[in-house]
Amino acid sequence: MDKQLIKNIILEWQRESLNAVLLKRKHHFDIHVNYVLVGVRRAGKSSLLYQDIQQNVNERVVPANGFLYINFEDERLADLTVEDLGVLLDCYYELFENKKPFVYLDEIQQVDGWEKFVRRLADQKYRVMVTGSNAKMLSSEIAGVLGGRFISREIFPFSFLEYLQYHQVELFNNWYYDSTVRSRIFRYFEDYFQYGGFAETFSQSNKREWLNSLYQKILIGDVVIRNKIRSPRVLRLLARKIAESVLQPVSQNRLMHIIKASGDSISYPVLHDYLDYMEEAYVIFSIPNLNSPLTEQTTTMKRYFIDNGILNLFYVDGKTKLLENLVASHLNSLYRNTQEDTRLYYYNKNVEIDFCIPENKTAIQVCHSLSDDETYRREVSAMRSFLRAYPEYHGIILTYNDERTIEEESFLIEVIPVWRWILNS
């Protein structure tokens, strides 16, 4: 590698990270701990590195040039190999007569074998933060190489609360009883509901165009190219069919039949791989049936998209599906656990419940409105049947904007607007 080029890149990224204007997020990173940040592309991982850099410089933990930040999506580093990574530090020390810098390696998964390099840095007592857009970075194999020297965190697109903070809406005590504030929050929710939490859309005039560009980049770059997929058309069809079936549990056999009916051929192992690839790139996530045996939980799943903005690309009018997907993505950010048993389920045995959280004994149904008598009977009857079987659970029905308390037999069922529930949770 050309050392002068690398020095230029180091200096450019130092200026960029120090001067970036940020919407600060409530993520705390201990200066004595190394981190692996993983999440969907454009969720804000780079900004969190910038946030950590600026905080440590402002608090004089490190001098203004006391860090090495490299973004491996910089096309000038496209040919960089793991053997070249040590040159980055050599160039840094040739530029600055500092002690060990804090090291920030952004989208490091672009370099095969990266984990051995960062393990060596940790062993040499560097403070290191790395990011990536693929869940394989959380695998037990990589965790084994890193040897317990790093803490892993998944980073999700901005929550609705963070979206309000961007728009300088502060929630004071008892804010819900102020009709002016409540109305303002609901107006912002309508936008967040459709376009999701990717921060770069917040000031965009054409949000849908930006989101479509992002989706294509994730699908092609993070799924097709990374996994050497030969049939991207089948992958696109699969993504569309998952979007169409967001409300329903769908088996892999059913997905195979749908794809074959379109005239394409796919084997069961390839279908399984495609689903894994989309989950690894954080396009979708899945939740199992609480009532299924462990051996069957991976065959029939409910699948959702990581953010409403991407899912909404598939619809002209998909309010009901978007509402359930928003609830799913919020619960996923709260209860997702890639290291242990899952903590979020749906329930399907004689009656279907959209979400079950055994950890806090909560059952959740989602519907756009309960104003229709048939919808009211269906949703309340399902919840009542579930609570008879599991009386220790608390029942909630989430709607777009309905609110009330329903007393059925000896059960109290809360009906809560999704936007209020998200802010309270």
- Residue 342 is predicted with a pLDDT of 66
**HEC letters along the chain:** CCHHHHHHHHHHHHHHHHHCCCCCCCCCCCCCCEEEEECCCCCCHHHHHHHHHHHHHHCCCCCCCCEEEEECCCHHHCCCCHHHHHHHHHHHHHHCCCCCCEEEEECHHHCCCHHHHHHHHHHCCCCEEEEECCHHHHCHHHHHHHCCCEEEEECCCCCHHHHHHHCCCCCCCCHHHCHHHHHHHHHHHHHHHHHCCCHHHCCCCCHHHHHHHHHHHHHHHHHHHCCCCCCHHHHHHHHHHHHHCCCCCEEHHHHHHHHHHCCCCCCHHHHHHHHHHHHHCCCEEEECECCCCHHHCCCEEEEEECCHHHHHHHCCCCHHHHHHHHHHHHHHHHHCCCCCCCCCEEEEECEEEEEEEHHHCEEEEECCCCCCHHHHHHHHHHHHHHHHHCCCCEEEEEECCCCEEEEECCEEEEEEEHHHHHHHC
Q: What is the pTM assigned to this prediction?
A: 0.95
CA distance linking residue 101 with residue 103, whole number of Å:
6
pLDDT at 299: 77
Side by side, the strands of the sheet bearing 284-287 are 250-251, 300-305, 284-287
So what's the pLDDT on residue 338? 47
- What does the pLDDT read at residue 408? 83
- The residues near 15 (Cβ < 8 Å, ≥ 6 apart) are none
Alpha-carbon distance of 408 to 257, in angstroms, equals 41
Q: In this predicted structure, what is the pLDDT of residue 297?
A: 72
CA distance 276 to 303: 12
Residues of the chain with CATH 3.40.50: 3-154
CATH class of segment(s) 3-154: alpha beta
Question: Could you read off the pLDDT of 247-299 as tens digits, one per residue?
Answer: 999 999 999 999 999 898 889 999 999 999 999 999 999 999 998 777 677 77
Q: Tell me the two tokens of residue 410.
A: 């000896």
Query: pLDDT value at position 341?
Result: 57
Average pLDDT by stretches of 10, the chain with 425 residues: 95 98 93 97 97 98 97 95 96 93 97 96 97 93 91 96 94 91 96 97 95 97 94 94 94 91 90 96 95 76 97 95 98 76 86 95 97 96 96 97 92 97 93
